[in-house]
Structure 1
Amino acid sequence: MTDKVRLGMLSTGVPGLDILLGGGLTEFSFTLIAGAPGSGKTTLAHQIMFALANPQRRALFFTVLGEPPLKMLRYQQQFPFFDMDKVGPVVRYVNLADDLRAGHFDGVLERIMHEVEDFGPGLVFVDSFRSVVQTARGGNEGLTHLQHFIQELGSRMATWQATTFLIGEYTQADVEANPIITVADGMVALAQASDDNSMLRKIRIIKMRGQGHMTGAHTMRITDEGIRVYPRELPPLADDRLPGTQSDLQPRRIPTGVPGLDQLMLGGVPQGHALLVTGPTGIGKTVLGTRFLEAGVGLGEKGVAVFFEKGTARLRNAALARMAQEGSVAVVETRSLSLSVEELLDGILSAIDRTGATRVVIDSLSEFDLYLAPEARADLRQTVFRTLSALAKRGVTVLVTAGMDDSRPSLRTSPHELAFLADAVVAMRFAEVGGALRKFLMVVKVRGVDHSSELREYHITGSGIEVDERPVPYEGVLTGWPRS
């Protein structure tokens, strides 16, 4: 016989979790959901249960709480995944508290199997299994009884073709010396990480037999919709970056909405590129971002605007507010002070998929840094790299702004040495000329295509940004800009 047994896969119904698991849960598997109190174990179990339970695959949920399941259900039914119509015919709750107080594993196992035989479930949950374990008598005899109980429960559930979940308040140290982990087919560990007054929930797949799961700790949020997992992964390479494709062809040029800047770029931003616009506060970066979106709307394109401090109401920008109200531009805002890059990307990519947007403006990386969780803030370059890589895969053209001090005489084109991550860079700066503060810009780079290196003065008007047609003469240039 050379035919292999094919394992059935079950989708968990938890956004992002199937990616971590390597495609979903293995049918008829024995999975331990472990974590500290408040980490989201019971909510995760309920979300999986209601996603999978149906008349052909019914669910038994055993509780060993000292209080009736009614109190637990009162909170779980606040989530939209909770389907009250399934409770009874499809989902049955059984309280094992009285059986547990007898203090003998055989009685608990007998009750569980009686309910299984009576209801015929395809899903079985035991919450909290830690309470069952704590009834074990001390010494080698208690450990032997516990291990026998776990092995017997697992084998009987497999015989009944039930997918089983044990929920318990375990830490990594608890599990390493526990017989449960040797019997379990999979283990999902939940934790709450605290850093600089920020609290982030994390999820890890410690073990999952028969499939390639993702390792490492991944961000998890409990929202009004339920649990959402944000896998830490890089997207596949964009099509124009893959070998053997049309990478040698010149990409289409995208107008920025500022004709003078398009002229310096010799046609505009190459499609799918990321343009980094840097400069001090008040220099016009947000105005340029707005004109970029407005130019797209004028061509019938949709856009996405990502803001951290400035919402459309605070910008007092009539053009941007109008585009948002008309639905031409989707606005992604956040007020979280512990933002992960996965959550940011999820919001941006969801807006792109929802609207079909071809242009994205992120304003700005300087404010973005203030909202990041400490772990993401510690390596801002990796965070920016992952963000731009994911957007490049979608083929959208991105304009990213970044504030920076105008520190002459040295020339810096980006904060945190981020310029190398962008495909194109435009630097904007102030200068005192003739007793007045004036504005200048130059194109630092456009990857893969030619561009002008001229320094141009520009003006912010009611129509946007107007760039002078002639370069700044040599004798009038300020210290800190490269001389021709």
Structure 2
Amino acid sequence: MTVEPQPAPKARTGVEGLDDILVGGLSPGHVYLLEGSPGTGKTTIALQFLLDGAKAGETGLYITMSETESELRDGAASHGWNLGDHVHVYELVPPESLLDDEHQQSLLYSSDLELGETTKAVFAAIDRTKPVRIVIDSLSEIRLLAQSSLRYRRQVLAMKHYFARQGATVLLLDDLTTDANDKTVHSLAHGVIRLEGLTPNYGAERRRLRVIKYRGQSFRGGYHDFIIAPGGVQVFPRLVSGEHKTGFARNVLTSGIGELDALLGGGIEQGSSTLVMGPAGTGKSLLTVQFAVSAAQRGEKAALFIFDEELGLLIDRCKLIGIDLVALCDSGNLFIEQVDAAELSPGEFTDRVRTKIRRHGVKTVVIDGLNGYQAAMPEEEFLTLHIHELLQYLNRQGVSTFLTVAQHGLVGDMKSPVDVTYLADTVVLLRFFEAFGQVRRAISIIKKRFGSHENTIREMRITSKGIALGEPLNGFQGILRGTPVFTDGDRAQLLKDPAV
């Protein structure tokens, strides 16, 4: 019987999200290129790569031609890391004081050395430490010393063959300061990862990465958002909903308001998405919060992600209608997060939602609202694709999702900043209308994929006891246009104002 050879375990990068993109990490014994402009996080990822090996008892070597050992150790300490005995640092930079004879003898000057001597110094450092993982920072110095593309390629190729004999996993860093279009190492490296920094017109800088090449291995293509935070780089793999399929019972979930559930044909099906549309002030946030509160009161887990409203104001508003969000949070059944659209990338937001589902078993998610989510998108034309993948993922996890969209205008012809009605399973429309000298609110269901629903339009009122719905408004025409005409019937169709 022939025994198939088993592939060697992959060398993890120390960055969980990046390992997910690379389907486990880096194949050991090869040379990889990590490139990006200064400040994109190359050094941080390289240190995490060496420290992850150190945890497994593997010796690591960081050869630096651009930073001093002191700067590297200070950078590691800023993340709470101690390089310890398993990570060695060898610097090829001049000392701060050229008058120190001892340092002049022990250090090499990259600006004065011939390329061959620099390469020999690198090999000598490797021979002394016998590392399993190696980082060389950076190729820009070698490219400058080479002075020609041909000589540069030959030197990199010689280094690659040397590393292959050593059996080490090597990470070459390139800061792209000398020639960003030079693809010499791309053809020689086993894999290439590029880091990019984006600066929007407003808000914090955005960072993203993509795997350009990975020989003989599958990987998750496309761009993936990442951040540099205390504790290291955090990568948020692009969500692919098709990879997350689960089985669940599609039960009907109620809101706790009888008339609203009747309007919805009994309630909302589990694992479906509901879009609540309407102009500002119609009660979209309170309506979606009502479903989250109902879920929490049933003992289920629910999460609110608030983009557009200050969290304290929402808590105070809910108190006025008898909903204590703080008490529900204290019970552990409700989670609320304030989302700053100017500081958060779409990938990081998606990761926050997924974390709530994986770690806490959340089954009801409210995103209030898509207007703020749109502001978090550096490229708004891809907003619909982001929402599509997120909704598909949530649906396949058996999560009931509620989203709000504020339409422009108050009455008459209103427009939405983003059209996602075709993505949602249920669409709830809220409107202002005038009746007998008062501004009223109307609610209707214009789409529901699962089961039947009422085709009527009902009045909705926000009272001190919560949300209340009236009888169908049969005597009015033109309510959805915001220009109703009273045809017949009587005023009893409208809810009584308890304050009158």
* TM-score between both structures, scaled by the size of structure 2: 0.85
Query: Do residues 148 (structure 1) and 154 (structure 2) align?
Result: yes
Query: Do residues 130 (structure 1) and 140 (structure 2) align?
Result: yes
Asked if structure 1 preserves the Cα contact closer than 8 Å seen for 2:303 and 2:336, the reply is yes
1:361 pairs, out of 339, 344, 366, with 366
Task: Please give the secondary structure, in 1, of the residue aligned with 2:472.
Answer: coil
Provide closer, same or farther for how the CA distance between residues 171 and 94 of structure 1 changes in structure 2, counting only shifts above 3 A. closer
AA aligned to 1:72 is: L
Asked if structure 1 preserves the Cα contact closer than 8 Å seen for 2:202 and 2:342, the reply is no
Q: Distance in 1 between matches of 2:152 and 2:244?
A: 52
Alignment of 1:323-334 (within 5 A): 323-334=328-339
Q: Distance in 2 between matches of 1:146 and 1:228?
A: 33
Asked if structure 2 preserves the Cα contact closer than 8 Å seen for 1:238 and 1:395, the reply is no
Provide closer, same or farther for how the CA distance between residues 177 and 279 of structure 1 changes in structure 2, counting only shifts above 3 A. closer
> Where does residue 277 of structure 2 map in the other structure?
278
Q: Distance in 1 between matches of 2:421 and 2:331?
A: 34
Q: Distance in 1 between matches of 2:346 and 2:161?
A: 42
Answer with 107-116 or 219-228: which moved more: 107-116
Q: CA deviation at 1:359?
A: 0.8
Asked if structure 1 preserves the Cα contact closer than 8 Å seen for 2:458 and 2:472, the reply is yes
> Where does residue 449 of structure 1 map in the other structure?
451
The one-character-per-residue Cα deviations of 1:204-252 (angstroms, maximum 9, x if unpaired) are 2122112122333322211223212223342127758xxxx89xxx831
Provide closer, same or farther for how the CA distance between residues 60 and 387 of structure 1 changes in structure 2, counting only shifts above 3 A. same
Asked if structure 1 preserves the Cα contact closer than 8 Å seen for 2:341 and 2:373, the reply is no
Instruction: Give me the identity figure in percent.
Output: 26
1:161 pairs, out of 161, 164, 167, with 167
> Where does residue 33 of structure 1 map in the other structure?
34
Task: Please give the secondary structure, in 2, of the residue aligned with 1:135.
Answer: helix
Alignment of 1:104-253 (within 5 A): 104-136=114-146, 138=147, 143-170=149-176, 174=180, 176-178=182-184, 180-197=185-202, 199-236=205-242, 239=245, 251-253=250-252
Alignment of 1:294-333 (within 5 A): 294-315=293-314, 316=316, 317-318=318-319, 319-333=324-338
The one-character-per-residue Cα deviations of 1:288-326 (angstroms, maximum 9, x if unpaired) are 122211111211111100001324312213322332243
Structure 2 gap segments, 5+ residues each: 94-106, 488-500
Answer with 26-35 or 143-152: which moved more: 143-152
Asked if structure 2 preserves the Cα contact closer than 8 Å seen for 1:59 and 1:121, the reply is yes
> Where does residue 75 of structure 1 map in the other structure?
75
Q: Distance in 2 between matches of 1:44 and 1:93?
A: 15
> Where does residue 394 of structure 2 map in the other structure?
391
Q: CA deviation at 1:15?
A: 2.9
AA aligned to 2:378 is: P
Asked if structure 2 preserves the Cα contact closer than 8 Å seen for 1:337 and 1:373, the reply is no
Query: Do residues 374 (structure 1) and 384 (structure 2) align?
Result: no
Q: Distance in 1 between matches of 2:143 and 2:414?
A: 65
Task: Please give the secondary structure, in 2, of the residue aligned with 1:378.
Answer: helix
Q: CA deviation at 1:407?
A: 6.2
> Where does residue 474 of structure 2 map in the other structure?
473
Q: Distance in 1 between matches of 2:413 and 2:311?
A: 35
AA aligned to 2:15 is: V
Q: CA deviation at 1:275?
A: 1.0
Q: Distance in 2 between matches of 1:172 and 1:441?
A: 61
Q: Distance in 2 between matches of 1:12 and 1:479?
A: 55
Q: Distance in 2 between matches of 1:36 and 1:369?
A: 27
Coordinate RMSD, CA, aligned: 2.8
Asked if structure 1 preserves the Cα contact closer than 8 Å seen for 2:411 and 2:431, the reply is no
AA aligned to 1:384 is: I
AA aligned to 2:48 is: Q
Alignment of 1:411-450 (within 5 A): 416-450=418-452
The one-character-per-residue Cα deviations of 1:343-397 (angstroms, maximum 9, x if unpaired) are 1111111122222111111111123223x1321x233322322221221122111
Task: Please give the secondary structure, in 2, of the residue aligned with 1:166.
Answer: strand
Q: Distance in 1 between matches of 2:215 and 2:382?
A: 33
Q: CA deviation at 1:72?
A: 2.6
Q: CA deviation at 1:109?
A: 2.8
Provide closer, same or farther for how the CA distance between residues 38 and 479 of structure 1 changes in structure 2, counting only shifts above 3 A. closer
> Where does residue 491 of structure 2 map in the other structure?
none
Q: CA deviation at 1:168?
A: 1.7
Q: CA deviation at 1:477?
A: 5.9
Task: Please give the secondary structure, in 2, of the residue aligned with 1:467.
Answer: strand
Q: Distance in 2 between matches of 1:292 and 1:55?
A: 47
Q: Distance in 2 between matches of 1:238 and 1:394?
A: 7
AA aligned to 1:129 is: L
Provide closer, same or farther for how the CA distance between residues 293 and 3 of structure 1 changes in structure 2, counting only shifts above 3 A. closer
The one-character-per-residue Cα deviations of 1:452-474 (angstroms, maximum 9, x if unpaired) are 11111122122211112x31123
The one-character-per-residue Cα deviations of 1:405-426 (angstroms, maximum 9, x if unpaired) are 45655587x6532211100011
Q: CA deviation at 1:159?
A: 1.3
Task: Please give the secondary structure, in 2, of the residue aligned with 1:157.
Answer: helix
Task: Please give the secondary structure, in 2, of the residue aligned with 1:6.
Answer: coil
Q: Distance in 2 between matches of 1:172 and 1:350?
A: 40
Q: Distance in 2 between matches of 1:474 and 1:186?
A: 69
> Where does residue 291 of structure 2 map in the other structure?
292
Task: Please give the secondary structure, in 2, of the residue aligned with 1:426.
Answer: strand
**Runs ≥4 residues deviating over 6 A:** 481-484
Q: Distance in 1 between matches of 2:225 and 2:401?
A: 25
AA aligned to 1:78 is: S
